[in-house]
Chain A
Amino acid sequence: MVATHDTSDLDAAPVLVGQEVTSDSGPAPRVTLSHLDELWFQVSGTLCNLECTHCFISCSPRNDSFGYLTLTEVERSLEESVRHGVKEYYFTGGEPFLNRDILPILEKTLEYGPATVLTNGTVLKPEWLERLRAAEDRSLYSLEFRVSIDGPTPETNDPIRGPRTFERAMKGVELLCRHGFLPIITMTRTWPDEHDAEVLGQFRKVLAEHGCNRPRLKVLPRLKIGAEQQRTCGYTDTERVTQQMMADYDESQLVCSHSRIVTSKGVYVCPILIEEPDARMGNTLDEALGPNPLRHGACFTCYLYGSICTNPSSSKRE
């Protein structure tokens, strides 16, 4: 795939016109949407029962800057997505299971395509999982659960996610396994990259002790925005993607080349940038198909690590 350096299509994205997209190193490179493969839903907005210190969108029980999506709103986007040939659907928040409509939303989605829900695992109920398991069995498609746990011990996890969250999330994992789901454990890397193998090994052992004998693990890089910006530090001005960096780069590694996210405030470019006003692309999917300038620090992390939001089963590298 060839990097898009052309800036002559500025007018193609009305919401971006007139906004500053240049820095000292020249205009921000713009990424064209190659195909809308993944459609995300910010289904519980920024509302979460936890308040993780590294959350890249500062979700909390009090942050209602983005609200819940209703079943009707999700259905409207699902129907619109058919025309765009969307391959998979992802649900995030906040904590998706705080949304009272989440069960019918996931049931409806499984009529359209595969669904993945990102949860902290602490509020799951057996009767919900029974119902969702039945929905997945009826469907052609997989229902994936991604459970966020930030380390293989309470000592690693709880300082970030809150007291007793390790224990509560592991109970959620046990519950998922008992209902025949195979949760993907996602962990944000708060340790040096070179410790990955050791952490993953520890995690496999701990998960086996909790009845999860086919562990699926995904390590995510830290995104230095939102709460994480306060916890450690934000991006420096030099941590930006430049035109030069895009030469010979596999653009398909960038979430914005194949995804968009529906929120209570419209459609945004990616799940990471919803608190950035310039990441809002329009009211509908049709309005949100324009190119995206990589002007944020988080774009730099996405560039470096690649494929950070999708499941391993959807990985593809050029």
Chain B
Amino acid sequence: MQLALFGGVYNNWLALESAIHDARQRGAEQLFCLGDMGAFGPHPDRVFPLLHDHNVICIQGNYDDSIGNDLSDCQCGYTDPRDNYFAQISYEYTYEHTSPANRAWLRDLPKEHRLEADGLKMLLCHGSPRQTNEFLWESTTSTHFLDSLADDFNADVIFATHSGIHWQRRLDHGRRFVNVGVLGRPENDGRTCVWYTLARTGSDVSTDSDDPRLEIEFVPVEYDFARLAAEMRAESLPEEFVETICAGWWTTCLEVLPAKERRRGRF
């Protein structure tokens, strides 16, 4: 089986469109999105038809919970006043430009999705299986903590997003944790591409894979970022957001980055 897993879309409907096309071309049988449809980018309502038309199975992120339930902020958990200032701009823009029907749809999304693929119990969540807005960064998450999550939530593979940078960790008993990355913005590495994840099981696993039961491939997606930037400017979204899309470096929401991840970025 081959599954495609998308992380936060953050209104980047152009990247979502490219990722769907790419995943289909590579033969993904089912597409999933792990939540946070809104934030950051332009035209929230352009995201939903793509998700519906391509039968993307979606779960709810903290942003979706906030927008769907008319909350006053995105529940991203930022502590820095500057980060909160920018987060609030994008939250209010997204809320105002999401139709009531789409808000209701976001409200009713499930918090997790479970499936079994070729004997592997997979758990799809947003931040972590225990809390939607928990950041699981590669450099601040011990392996035995992830083992405890896999035990507590009875999963062979846990897929999450939320933090914005893809990574994976092999756990005991052949289990795996995978952060699938996000489609919404680049990964703070000076590149303009965004990332999604392909998971192959059973007969779809390549012969050269060192794990015959599960193969994870992180896929870079090139898309028309210049068009996205133009649309963001036309919507009067902050130039700081546009800069991230065009240059690939995060300019906001930096305070929550741990040392190793922060050091790799420019700001």
Contact = CB atoms under 8 A, between A and B. Distances in A.
Nearest to B79: A312
A304 to B, nearest CB: 15
Contacts, number: 100
Given A313-B258, A316-B77, A317-B75, A113 B145 contact: yes
Interface size range of chain A in the complex:
35 or more
Interface string B223-267: 000000000000000000000000000000011111111110001
B140 interface: yes
A35 B131 CA distance: 12
A222 interface: no
Contacts of B148: 35, 84-85
A142 B142 contact: no
B134 interface: yes
Contacts of B267: 214
Contacts of A84: 148
B263 A313 contact: no
B142 A318 contact: no
B144 A85 contact: yes
A311 B135 CA distance: 12
Interface in A284-318: 307, 311-318
B195 interface: no
A174 B217 CA distance: 40
Interface in B76-97: 77-81
Given A142-B140, A182-B263, A313 B257 contact: yes
B7 to A, nearest CB: 18
A218 B142 contact: no
B181 interface: no
B79 A315 contact: yes
A312 B81 contact: no
A180 interface: yes
Nearest to B147: A85
A113 B77 contact: no
A316 B141 contact: no
A318 B111 CA distance: 14
B260 A86 contact: no
Contacts of A317: 75, 77, 133
A144 interface: yes
Given A85-B147, A313-B256, A317-B77, A140 B140 contact: no
Given A87-B141, A141-B142, A316-B134, 10 more contacts: A83-B144, A85-B151, A88-B140, A113-B142, A114-B140, A140-B139, A142-B261, A144-B258, A181-B259, A316-B133
22 contacts: A35-B148, A85-B147, A86-B142, A86-B144, A113-B142, A113-B143, A114-B142, A136-B260, A140-B139, A142-B261, A143-B259, A181-B259, A182-B263, A214-B254, A214-B262, A218-B79, A252-B131, A315-B77, A315-B135, A316-B77, A317-B77, A318-B131
